[in-house]
């Protein structure tokens, strides 16, 4: 009898647990004004909008989006036959629910079978009411005819915006386990606190560091959910733009944390790795390609490449190998070239100067035709007198006659001129050795480098004006 009761108890528990498990796959029933029409289900993927499914509506306007495999959780949207987003929904854990939508009453969504979407529907309804007020007040400020009118509208805007903030905070506080609460945490940016007085002096940096240190509070990087939102990517961009130093080591610290934290969320991890790669493989600021090399050495070279196609993989590996040899503050690779006579050797390390400027160029390159004479103007006006040396390298061995002609016509005197012969290039290829094109990452012309007296790389990828300013700064520091 006792055994029978235990078995019965276990059966009841098992049945209860099964009842709590949602059915497999997804089934979203959407009723709209569109009858016998094709509707679309989409989702956010960072900055992009992706098509998740499509379905035909029947004569009653019912369309059923259905699949055997669950969709990623996050914010989705239903699109009309005219390719216009009608409304957003939350793709919850269960993914079996229905929604009724009347296009004559935007924001009036009725959900069945999804508690998360009931919370979201109330929030959407609140947004429908408050958004026009916020927009109108912002326009009032723009159109204000007096400081008094502007101030009044600004105060009213702050008051109205506070209502929205209060509503969001109330959702987070009273329904902390809801999907909407999690999404609002992702979207939330901390308010700057007032400047505190420390030891009688204002600490003006405190508000900045407060926001930075709390920017990602309660954002779970171990879940793909945050990727499938319309606001995560823009928040990420703002963080790196305003709160992370452009110094490559500071950036590396941040990207490493996010990539390690997102290991359990494969979609998010791959998205972040791809986003950071795109940003720093050809960076906006000099020296930030060090971030890309960090990504290569710690992720790509360790096998984190299954999500890449062969073309992407080859580009990333080739680019990394090219950049490794020409990092800021590293020793420049040797250059052993042939001069304009075709008989003498021009060696980078034989050039003795406090600073050496290397220009890789091609006389047929339209940009070179402008920049090389400009380079000579800087040289003649200032650099020559400061003993700055220029090594100009012709990157193509089949334009040598035109190269020599350009040098003569533009009187590029006092420079070191050299090129790599076809025979040497082929020899390096046969021996599987890298030539200067890879070692100096020559993917376009002209490409410029500035080296110090010991041939360490001081700068690359700058404009001539920026090089001129840097040379001034370096030489002033050298003479002081």
Write the pLDDT tens digit of every residue in 398-432: 999 999 999 999 999 999 999 999 999 999 889 88
- The larger pLDDT score, comparing residue 10 to residue 329, is at 329
Mean pLDDT across the stretch 13-30? 70
Which sequence spans correspond to the domains of the chain?
26-113, 124-187, 197-324, 336-479
In degrees and rounded to multiples of 5, residue 443 shows phi and psi of -105, -10
DSSP-assigned letter for residue 382: I
Residues 195/210, Cβ–Cβ less than 8 Å: no
Could you tell me the pLDDT band of residue 479, with boundaries at 50, 70 and 90? very low
> Which CATH code, of 3.40.30.10, 3.90.400.10, 1.25.40.10, 2.60.40.10, is assigned to 336-479?
3.40.30.10
**pLDDT-above-70 percentage for the chain:** 94
Q: Above 60 in pLDDT, residue 13?
A: no
Pick from 19-33, 184-198, 374-388 the range whose average pLDDT is largest: 374-388
Distance between CA 226 and CA 75 in Å, rounded? Answer: 9
Cβ neighbours for 125, distance < 8 A, ≥ 6 positions apart: 107, 108, 109
- Structure pTM? 0.80
In degrees and rounded to multiples of 5, residue 454 shows phi and psi of -95, 10
Residues 184/171, Cβ–Cβ less than 8 Å: yes
Question: Could you report the per-residue pLDDT of 67-106, keeping only the tens digit for each?
Answer: 999 999 999 999 999 999 999 999 998 999 999 998 777 6
* Helix (H) / strand (E) containing 78: strand 74-79
446: cis peptide before it, omega within 30°?
yes
Could you tell me the pLDDT band of residue 55, with boundaries at 50, 70 and 90? very high
Question: Could you report the per-residue pLDDT of 374-406, keeping only the tens digit for each?
Answer: 999 999 999 999 999 999 999 998 999 999 999
Q: Which of 436, 469, 431, 425 is nearest to 450 (CA)?
A: 469
> Looking at residue 19, what is its pLDDT?
47
CATH architecture of 26-113: Sandwich (2.60)
């Amino acid at each position: 009898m006792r055994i029978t009761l235990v078995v019965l108890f276990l059966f009841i528990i098992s049945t209860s647990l099964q009842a709590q498990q949602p059915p497999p796959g997804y089934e979203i029933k959407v009723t709209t004004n569109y009858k016998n029409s094709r509707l679309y289900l989409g989702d956010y993927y960072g900055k992009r909008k992706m098509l998740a499914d499509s379905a035909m509506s029947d004569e009653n306007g019912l369309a059923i989006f259905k699949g055997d495999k669950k969709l990623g959780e996050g914010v989705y949207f239903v699109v009309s036959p005219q390719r216009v987003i009608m409304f957003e929904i939350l793709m919850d854990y269960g993914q079996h629910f229905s929604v009724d939508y009347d296009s004559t009453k935007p924001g009036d969504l009725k959900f069945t079978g999804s508690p998360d979407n009931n919370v979201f529907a109330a929030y959407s309804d609140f947004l429908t009411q408050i958004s026009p007020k916020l927009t109108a007040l912002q326009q009032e400020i723009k159109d204000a005819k007096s400081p008094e009118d502007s101030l009044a509208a600004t105060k009213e805007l702050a008051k109205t915006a506070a209502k929205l903030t209060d509503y969001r905070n109330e959702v987070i506080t009273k329904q902390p386990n809801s999907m909407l609460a999690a999404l609002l945490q992702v979207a939330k940016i901390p308010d700057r606190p007032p400047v505190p007085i420390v030891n009688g002096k204002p600490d003006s940096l405190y508000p900045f560091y407060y926001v930075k240190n709390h920017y990602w509070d309660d954002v779970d990087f171990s879940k793909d959910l945050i990727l499938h939102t319309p606001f995560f990517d823009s928040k990420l961009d703002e963080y790196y733009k305003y709160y992370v130093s452009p110094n490559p080591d500071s950036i590396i610290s941040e990207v490493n944390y996010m990539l390690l934290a997102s290991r359990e969320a494969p979609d998010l991890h791959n998205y972040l790795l791809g986003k950071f790669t795109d940003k720093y493989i050809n960076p906006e600021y000099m020296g930030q390609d060090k971030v890309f090399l960090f990504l290569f050495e710690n992720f790509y070279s360790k096998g984190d490449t299954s999500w890449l196609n062969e073309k992407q993989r080859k580009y990333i590996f080739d680019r990394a190998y090219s950049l490794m040899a020409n990092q800021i503050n590293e020793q420049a690779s040797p250059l052993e070239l042939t001069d304009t006579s075709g008989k003498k050797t021009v060696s980078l390390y034989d050039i003795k100067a406090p600073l050496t400027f290397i220009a890789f160029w091609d006389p047929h390159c339209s940009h070179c035709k402008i920049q090389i004479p400009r380079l000579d103007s800087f040289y003649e006006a200032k650099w020559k007198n400061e003993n700055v040396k220029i090594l100009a390298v012709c990157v193509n061995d089949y334009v040598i006659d035109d190269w020599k002609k350009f040098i003569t016509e533009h009187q590029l005197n006092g420079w070191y001129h050299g090129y790599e012969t076809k025979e040497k290039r082929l020899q390096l290829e046969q021996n599987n050795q890298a030539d200067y094109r890879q070692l100096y990452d020559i993917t376009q012309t002209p490409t410029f480098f500035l080296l110090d007296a010991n041939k360490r790389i001081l700068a690359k990828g700058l404009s001539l004006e920026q090089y001129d300013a840097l040379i001034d700064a370096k030489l002033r520091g050298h003479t002081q």
